Amino acid sequence: MEAQAPRRFEFDYNAGGQPDPRVLAYLAEVAAGCRGNASSLHTTGRRARGRLEEARERVAAALGVPAASVVFVSGGTEANNLVVLGHGDLSRPVLLAPSEHASVLAPAAHRGAVEWAVDATGSAVVTPPPDPVGLVCLVHGQSEVGTLQPIAAAGALARALGVPFHVDASQTLGRCALDEVVATADTITLSTHKAGGVVGSGVLIDRSERRSPLLHGGGQQRDRRPGTEPVALCLATALAVELAVAETASRATAMRRARDAFLDALDLATSPGVHRVTPAHSLPNTVMLRFDDVTDGRQLLPALDLAGIDASHGSACSSGAPTPPAILRAIGFDDAASRRCVRFSFSPTSDARYAADGGHLLCAALSRLRTS
């Protein structure tokens, strides 16, 4: 008889989770019937166009935005690059915080950036820039520490400056209400594979009038994202958005319950050397911990992996970077302290017992690491 695989504790949901079975089933269903190119003028092409516009209208209805603002993209990195490198006055820098994802920070460095400071929790200290800027960016939920950012204040400043305001909501779709983001931002990034969708899918909400195309060669999606649209994937993305928005409250409750059960199992009050980095006002599924009594933080993730726990130091997109996440440096951690930080993030299907069992396993792994 084949040996049963060891149980794994998947506590890295912020990097991407398993697609919702309902989304996968729907994708298989619509893919079988989607034919043709949505840009073609013949009957088959017009049918494909009709299904594509159906997907666009469904996303718009779920979020409460105009259908014309919905742009289907491959994910958060593409959406953020399209905005940072193509929106606002490109001769002027981007105003942002070190809390941003690498897909905002890197293109902003190419264009020119002015940074806000952050407080001890990682929250941006929103203040007017010393010189004119062309775009304001602020992530909704910080992907590593988990801090929820002051969206209303940043949006008000952008309006006062007369520049577009971009919000990266990759980590908050299906976890936090997006009403404030939708009411405030000109452009919004949604990474649906972090909310039950399929990898390679995402949405950019683009209500800005000051844009320059980043990609060229076709007029699809009103010249904002040329290329043949994958109609079936767009329909599945629409369902993922609909489900995430409708189930935000229940998913957030389940995630918070799992996170709290995990922390209860660790019992931080009686765990010397283990400190919570994530503030109270944060993503419901995320907690970053600092393990000060581990001599070499570089041993942490391999030890947890061997124990059966999936976790990370931060964003998967920056996992190979030689330097710590920018947000940790910004809140005052040196390289050694940053290497002792581990992010644990829980999915809506992580029940409390599962999370608690993972917490107990973490305690055992830490004990072995301390005595090795």
Instruction: Count structural domains, the chain.
Output: 2
The answer to whether residues 46 and 176 belong to one domain is yes
The answer to whether residues 322 and 183 belong to one domain is no
34 lies in which domain range? 21-246
pLDDT of residue 4: 58
Whether 276 is covered by a domain: the verdict is yes
The answer to whether residues 79 and 121 belong to one domain is yes
Whether 3 is covered by a domain: the verdict is no
Instruction: Give the SS3 label for residue 10.
Output: strand
The answer to whether residues 233 and 290 belong to one domain is no
Instruction: Give the SS3 label for residue 95.
Output: strand
Whether 1 is covered by a domain: the verdict is no
Torsion over CA: 182, 185, 186, 192 (sign): negative
The answer to whether residues 336 and 354 belong to one domain is yes
Q: Is 213 left (phi over 0), alpha (psi -120 to 50) or beta?
A: beta
pLDDT of residue 3: 52
Last-in-domain residue among 189, 220, 246: 246
Query: Strands 70-73, 202-206: parallel, antiparallel or unpaired by DSSP?
Result: antiparallel
- In tens, the pLDDT along 249-265 reads 999 999 999 999 999 99
pLDDT of residue 362: 94
Describe the crossing of helices 231-246 and 43-63 by its angle, rounded to 10 degrees.
20
The answer to whether residues 238 and 356 belong to one domain is no
Tokens representing residue 329 in the block: 């440096």
- In tens, the pLDDT along 204-234 reads 999 988 777 777 777 677 767 777 788 999 9
pLDDT above 60 (res 343): yes
| Chain-centroid distance, C-alpha 354 | 24
Q: What is the mean pLDDT of the chain?
A: 91
Last-in-domain residue among 246, 266, 282: 246
Which of 135, 81, 127 is closest to 104 using CA atoms? 81
More confident residue, 241 or 270: 241
Which of 102, 18, 85 is closest to 94 using CA atoms? 85
pLDDT of residue 372: 64
Whether 184 is covered by a domain: the verdict is yes
Mean pLDDT of 80-86: 96
In this structure, the number of other CB atoms found within 10 A of the CB of residue 91 comes to 9
pLDDT of residue 256: 98
The answer to whether residues 296 and 202 belong to one domain is no
CB 122 within 8 A of CB 279: yes
The answer to whether residues 181 and 294 belong to one domain is no
pLDDT above 90 (res 324): no
Q: How far is CA 187 from CA 103, 112, 270, in A?
A: 15, 19, 45
pLDDT above 90 (res 369): no
Whether 127 is covered by a domain: the verdict is yes
pLDDT above 90 (res 311): yes
So which residues are the catalytic ones?
A: 317
Q: How confident is the model at residue 1 (pLDDT cuts 50, 70, 90)?
A: very low
Phi, psi of 42 (to 5 degrees): -75, 180
CB 366 within 8 A of CB 291: yes
Whether 2 is covered by a domain: the verdict is no
The answer to whether residues 231 and 328 belong to one domain is no
- In tens, the pLDDT along 87-145 reads 999 999 999 999 999 999 999 999 999 999 999 999 999 999 999 999 999 999 999 99
Whether 224 is covered by a domain: the verdict is yes
pLDDT above 70 (res 304): yes
CB 330 within 8 A of CB 98: yes
3-state secondary structure 258-303: HHHHHHHHHCHHHCCCEEECCCCCECCCEEEEEECCCCCHHHHHHH
**Strand pairing partners for 165?**
136
d(CA 66, CA 60): 6
The answer to whether residues 191 and 293 belong to one domain is no
d(CA 189, CA 202): 8
Tokens representing residue 173 in the block: 């779709």
